[in-house]
Structure 1
């Protein structure tokens, strides 16, 4: 049998049997049925489009792995009662070529045609069969069916188009009819409270500062300085352990903005404005626990972003915090309704559904509409809406990634602050829900939670001058997933978790400070990049480190310079075509994700390692940090070790290595500006 792919959308044969007629693979059907047995007219177009997205995502996964299925049809797709699908046929998967890729793509279009119309594509056109079908859905189906339009990107673009359509439909359904009138009434009640207008004016003023504003640093400083309490709180947080990595005390807002950056101070100001406002009023005691939960959720979202390589960690922080905004607004401005919602939820009710019944709208919709009126960007307001139930799909672009991390942090925070007896079961359910989008297990998650708890304690001390003053605070500071349920081992390609090496962290931290000094000096770009490679090599103990960049004339990625024994041999052979997504290096660059290979000879990995790399036999463990600026694929930083499983990187060390990569990007940006 060929190498099987680990993916929740691809079914695994339970066993293989040989009969007189030939060899057969046996799949477990369980409570699922074949897609061909489904009655499409019993589903609405949103449900059909969700199924279509899953089918296309499975097809993309096969294509990126250079595999194809000989039969891509209704009879080779299982679907369960939750409308979750799995493809059959891994036992007979083929090596993908252009002809087979085109065939699978067209077969996918035929499946979509049947989903939306209930009839095969050989009959009448889809728009004739379904004149009421959204034109965008009909066009997406036609793109897959049209063999003349075949190109390698059309499947990906159709998936993005369908996902965008689903997102717009969800937003539309949340803001229609009677609910819209209810929202207007709620927002009007808030507007007439005694100081909500002042809060709104301050938040809106900060959000009005544009990126193109040449004086934006001074404008932000002026807005903050108008509020002495905000100024004092912000400087206290800036000088806390969470931010004070640069030495010395920051005594002015202007210096804080210069050192930490406009976006960091902007996000801190927005957060402090909101939460200090909430905690200094009549219902402060009732909203305190929500505020604490919001703080933890924001810090957790940021740590998730750090771990999984997102570049928008500070925006993730505020997105995570504002996940609790709806509950905060409800508790503060609609206190009686809030108490009724709490009572119903304690009896087992779903918070969003109960809120709709009592308020006339969900708390997440109230939060999104409030931030929209505060002039937050649209992608931010959308990130506050809950993801649809069921498995979470791979995010398409930074906006969807923001929403996914915010929702994940919120769901985990609710589980961590809930009853102890349900903790592990709830967390395991969350990990299963997000397994398509993220590779994560209990060990990785516990490490992320532990770092969040450390930040949480520091924040409470710097922000409120306290260690623990409520049961909620104590729970979130001490909760652990150490005693977890037994689970079958799952093959994952995750960063290894080993004992923390203080020496490595210290060396990396000192190196980052040296690079920071170099960036504000007069050093040449090549000197800064060499410095970064030396820090990687000396701190972590890589056998080889190397910078690889694109040659614009040949459109290939070449090894440029590096450190290590026989490095010249490695540099000479490093020639990666970024358009050929048949190897780990090209895939890392295409997806702009950091990749760690613990054993290049592992069966599930070896097919994705270029033959020339294997023949060199210089390293079995390596890591790739892509260098991508505004979607421009510049190259990557590379580090390796000779033996498999010999690179014990802790998350702390990994985050510092990512910081070095970001400094390399900053140096390149400065050179190009």
Structure 2
């Protein structure tokens, strides 16, 4: 019978378990909140040990830090100890790395800093962790790390250098602890270094066939990176110092470790390097922004998307995979592409990022992704209302530029959108990262009656325009977009002579029009619009009637966008101005109404009551059966819509693979195609970590071989392998597979025409037994496979 209560806490479901512990999601009826409860069961009950652990839990419960999961209380029931923690929705770092693989050095260091700050807080209180590892580090829904499980931590002043049994996880023990049971601050530093290794490489640092082999390697071998991993020597030096076998060669304190990471992010300029001028000021401001926990993550995401935008090969697959890593981002993007505005592009409901790119175009999806990313990083600030105002203005400017570009036959309206949106990036960034300086700029403008650029130059040492351009360059935006961020001189604007000039003029026009919408009252609008028409009369030829119609259309699009990203227009000054411009009366919101409740209602109406399945899928989690079926069904319809259009075979196959990947929570899905010349099956592309590299190595002959792959291909049967190490199965797993992958469970869907194999879909997960496919989902997966087969037949 399943456990139903522990103390007063009502058990809801199991979250995870270890050798001596089980973690449950539970409900506290007294305080009416969800909590996490961890039970500890020891093979030999020991009242003295339990008393000591309870005393330690009381000590740990005093720790207060944003990156530490607090202990609410502790107790004992039926001889077993239990600890009650704050429930943190999300996943642990081990699960995250299992899905994401190696992180970029900047992202790894940013995460590591937050982890170390939590450990430093504990050390200051005289507590060490003693079991620091990725599975004891939770990532909340915003990706912020929180360290938990100080349950075996030891008071530093009470340390006994000759403790008896080992306590902790062998793969993260320090050499001195294994050899002499010495416990100290440097042991936590060693474990933190191993966590950093895992962040940088995507794999565990110390591996072995059993705990004793692992501990032997820790004490006898220096940690070194694999030859195929190439990293900056500066971060490698930090890693090796943290994981030195001799504790005296490690950092003395977590503070030193943190300082080394900060030096990596912000290296000191070499002697003789230029230290003056605008570049020095920009570098100084960038360093300040990098110390904000979210700026490196935002920079990395935008830079990654921009890097893909400049690639001439596999851009659709790479953009899709980049977006799919973030399920919250995927969800919002799919809702946006199914909104009324984007549905004008045709194609019916869109259920995959791959099809969104096909229907809307690469640049449109890139712009949506960057817009959502930027908004997501404007939350939870004391000046959130002002930030949302700035963001809405930027978004409206982008939409106006796109719509006016369409009206004036501009060739690339998606470029116009991003140019106009980032026209005032410097002001937006200053409002977000330097709110005090932003207020000082406004104060100067009021007191001295000087312009915004002059005031920002005086306060920051550079103008908003220069700041925005500098950051845009570091994010990898192309010169075409960067140059459009430069303001136009006063007076009448001449007819642009190049496409680049046309985008710059259009971005400026849209932003000046947006300023009128934001600031002009009903009595001033006509006069201000005439001034704008006179200034841009030679360069942007739009009739007044068409302009007013375009403004109304663009405002409707902003309202729809705001509802999808759950932003209540009535709660922002600019939002209220938009409603007033449209002649709407202020909405009477119920007290306490939040953005999400309003947005949910509006969104439901817009999408006909349908919510896309991605809304309930968490990253790295296998969806529940109903959700999986919904995603598969939507994907099948998506593909049916595409098959009746002109299509490229690879596009259809990508949609099919992405649907399988999202619906079933596979770690990776890879398509293999028959190479007739060499009579082999060769991996082509897929979704999941390292699939590009793995697909190159995924190659096997079609001639007879007594293995699982040949059995599936030759007989045309779908095969699920639950455990590659099962004694009955192990001999039939080919050597080439074990060299390429470590997955313990996978499924094969062969594609055959008249008995001849033409392709195969491979999907896997890491752990034995992780793949379970109910009958309904299997039937839908086979339909997808048959659609792939139909597409291949039609292309032959």
TM-score, normalised by the number of residues in structure 1: 0.44
TM-score, normalised by the number of residues in structure 2: 0.37
User: Which of the pair has more CA radius of gyration?
Assistant: 2
Instruction: Determine which structure has greater relative contact order: mean sequence separation of CA pairs < 8 Å that are 6+ residues apart, divided by chain length.
Output: 1
